[in-house]
Amino acid sequence: MDYVKLERGDDGVAVLTIDRQEKLNALDPQVVEEIGQSLLELESEGPRVIIVTGAGEKSFVAGADIAAMSTMDPLEAKRFAEIGHAAMALLDKSPIPTIAAVNGFALGGGCEIAIACDIRIAAENALFGFPEVGLGILPGMGGTQRLPRLVGPAIAKELIFTGRRIKAEEARMIGLVNHIVPQGEALKAAKEMAAEIAANGPVAVRHAKAAANRALDVDLISGLEYEADQFALLFATEDASEGMGAFVERRKAEFKGR
């Protein structure tokens, strides 16, 4: 692939890097398709955690490639949005936990990639925002749908309607970012968190992600029923026997992912 690089670690942590530094890692249809293809590849391999980041310290993803978008007709724009939605769904709905390591600009499509991940770790120089309305368009890769669910409708509408950019600290205060780290250390911090996640029972983590995602789409009673089902299913796994047995025996659990 030309713009997406994959690194697979022995610890079960995979890193997907968007590398188009001459364009501040901006998205055009090819880049978005490569992101989707890479995520499908990783999902078939089954790492325990996926980290998404941008190459260099200036930009996570600066947004969409405006020059490429400016020549699109409505059908081409619809196709661009559709491949974007498909790629973001692979982050959001994947059974594998995902962490965004955000360095520099995370604007427009870049912010949409970040909020499609489960967890966001930002360098102190990170800058977030949805500038689309200033271009006469709107966020087209899930921003209008995921941002209200993440930070609440009032704050989401303010950010989308004004196109205002916010720094990492404000992003953390509104719940857009989980943690802030010094410039240049977002990927390191993401790998440290990924190692914490990967040390746990992988089947349990995947079912926990499914249950947490379910909470966004159903009422409380339905969500609790789903949680109870997932809780019960895990008692049929080898990992559950190993985890609870290790606790009782006061030793470290050796999870096999089954």
Q: Which residues are catalytic?
A: 112, 132
CB 102 within 8 A of CB 122: yes
Cα–Cα distance measured from residue 116 to residue 36, given in angstroms and rounded to the nearest whole number:
13
User: How is residue 200 annotated by DSSP?
Assistant: S
Nearest to 35 by CA among 21, 22, 25: 25
Q: How many Cβ atoms from other residues are within 10 Å of residue 39's Cβ?
A: 25
Question: Could you tell me which of 180, 197, 165, 172 has the C-alpha nearest to residue 121?
Answer: 180
What number of residues does the chain have? 258
Kindly compute the dihedral angle of the four CA atoms of residues 14, 96, 93, 54, in this order, to the nearest 10 degrees.
Answer: -20
